[in-house]
Each structure stands twice: as structure tokens, then as C-alpha cells.
Homo-oligomer: A and B are copies of this chain.
Amino acid sequence: MSETRLGAQTIRFGRPPRVLGCAGVVGKKEGEGPLGGSFDVVETDAFCGEKTWEKAESRLLRTALAHAVEKAGRPLAEIDVLFAGDLLDQCIGTSFGLRDTGRPLLGLYAACATMAEGLVLAAAAVSAGYARTAAAMSSSHFCAAERQYRLPLEYGGQRAPTAQWTVTGAGALVLGAGASGPSLTHAAVGRIVDAGVKDPAHMGAAMAPAVHDTLRAFFAESGTAPGDYDLIATGDLGAPGSELLHDLFARDGVTLSGRHVDCGTLIYDVSAQDVHAGGSGAGCGAAVLCGHLMRGLQKGKWRRLLFCGTGALLSPVSSAQGESIPAVCHVVAFLA
């Protein structure tokens, strides 16, 4: 069966690739959260044995890939292509993290939607026969993100109630032909949506309209509705962003209740761990997908899962220049 365009944004894969292996790797705080037991590795040192936080992020990504490849039961040399990106300026988490892999690499930037974009492209590459196996991955690190996007950690600035906490973590997922395991059946590619939100401490509000835009297109083009999925997981809307998403769908007469979860609110005990609106970061959705969500699919807890990567495409420079926050959301559908 060949690749099918179901509409302007949605694709049905002709030969849906299987999840051959995946791994989520996180830091200490994430390991202490409600999903702690679902990750493959919990690092207890913020530096992961490296000299800087940026190098630590590279280490997280490398570790996630190593574990995903091991669980896929094949050597790294048999992974045909890597799709990866992160939040650091010039994506150095990725470039230095994957420098020694010797594998063909296509670098991505979609902020916290990078894992979903990687899965779209990895699945497309395998289904069309460009690659036999392909890996998608992404990472973030709280300390590296804080000093790049916000303030030096030493400053100890107050955080707004709508602010999110960047997850220290990475996820990697290997797709290929296989006899069993969840398959990636559909993808929807997002377009940029800018609702005019200008507050970088309220990114959930900037991203919710993008999620609404892509999911609405996906449901219409695939002829499905939220009720057809056991779980609809967004990457990092946080609590207020999730509420806005529900409101946007409610205006369409569609309810997400009982189906929607957000990786950013799942990964922490939001009140006990003092993370305000929840987790965020390119590693948030990636680690939760490759840990908690994939385990649930593999164990039969859920059968049909939508994973919605959510990216806020701002930079400190764009915000300083008075710009609003463009956002994007890419969606992939898994079938257990």
C-alpha cells in the first residue's frame, strides 16, 4: 500500500513502521516525580559527569539513543538515519551528543515539538523505503535552558504562576519493520499559529491554539474524533495551557475530557515539586513518550494513542524585540 495524503496536513503511512525500541532518560527531579519508575535511566548528577550543563544535555541524548538502540536489539551501525534536535542555540545538545555516532543525521528545529517532528520524518523515511530503520530523539536540560532563555540560576529569580519548569531529560525512539510492537500509522504536520501571546512565562497559552489547529485538521482529515483514541497526549502545555486547549475544543462542541493528558503535568507532582504550571522542554514530551506512554501501549493499557508535540518558536531576541510567540504542533498516531 502506498503513502496516502488524507488531506492538507495528514498522511496515512503505507507500511506503518513499528517501534523497535525506545528509552527515556531524566534528571533527579524528574526521577522523583510520579513517572519516575517509567524511565530507563535517572541521572542523579545535574552534570551527568560532564563539565557543563550543555555537555550534560548531550550526554542525556546519547544515553537515550544507546538504550533505545539496545532495546531494539541491533547495533547502532544498523540505524540508517537519525532525526534529532534540541532547544540550545545552534542545537549543540544534538550536534555534540551525536557527534561520534557515525550515523547519517538530519537536524531539526521545532522547539518542544521536535520529538514529534522527528517521528513524522522517521516514520516517513521507513514507510517509503528510504531507510530500514530510523531514530527520532530530543532533549532539554533545566540548567542549560534557564541560563540561555532566562536568567543565571544564581540570580534566583521569582517565577510566574504560569511559568513552566524545563525538564532535564531526553527520549529516543527507533522505528523499523518488525513483527510486533506498537506501529506509527498516521502523522499530521502543523503550520505556525500565532495567537498574539507575548508572555514568555505563559507558553502554554501560546501553544494551545497551535495544538487545536493541527488536531482539528487531523480529526477532520482522518475522519476520526477524540473518542476514537484511548489517550491524546500533548507534549508540554502545562496546566493552564491544557485548560485553554479544552476551551478551544469546547467552542467547536468537542470534548477532550477523559482522553487528554499533558506530559508536562504528568511528569511532576506539580504542587509538591514546586514547578508551577508543569514541565516543559523538548525533553519533556520525548522522555514521557519513550517511558510512560510507550510502556502503557506495550502493556495493553491503551490501544490508540495520539502524541502531539507542542513547540513555542520564540527566542530571547524575538521577545526582546516585542514579538509575540509563534507556535507549532505536529501529531503522530500510534496503534498498539
| Residues of chain B within 8 A of A191, CB atoms compared | 101-105
Q: Which residue of B lies closest to A118 (CB)?
A: B106
A336, B52: Cα distance in complex, Å = 49
Within 8 Å of chain B (Cβ to Cβ): is A117? yes
Counted per complex, copies of this chain come to 2
Whether A128 contacts B131 by the Cβ 8 Å rule is no
A104: chain B residues at CB < 8 Å are 8-9, 189-191
Contacts A128-B130, A189-B81 given: A110-B107 contact, CB under 8 Å? yes
Contact A89 B121 (CB under 8 A): no
1/0 contact trace for A100-141 toward B, CB 8 Å?
A: 111111111111000001001100110111111000000000
Does B109 lie within 8 Å of A90, measured CB to CB? yes
Q: State how many angstroms separate the Cβ of A126 from the closest Cβ of chain B.
A: 11
> Do B90 and A106 touch across chains, with their CB atoms under 8 A apart?
no
User: Shortest distance in angstroms between A150's beta carbon and chain B's nearest beta carbon?
Assistant: 13
Q: In whole Å, how far is A71's beta carbon from the nearest beta carbon of chain B?
A: 22
Could you list 22 examples of A-B contacts with CB < 8 Å?
A3-B130, A5-B131, A85-B109, A87-B90, A88-B317, A89-B315, A89-B317, A90-B313, A90-B318, A92-B314, A92-B317, A95-B192, A95-B313, A95-B326, A96-B326, A99-B194, A100-B192, A104-B191, A107-B108, A107-B110, A124-B130, A128-B130
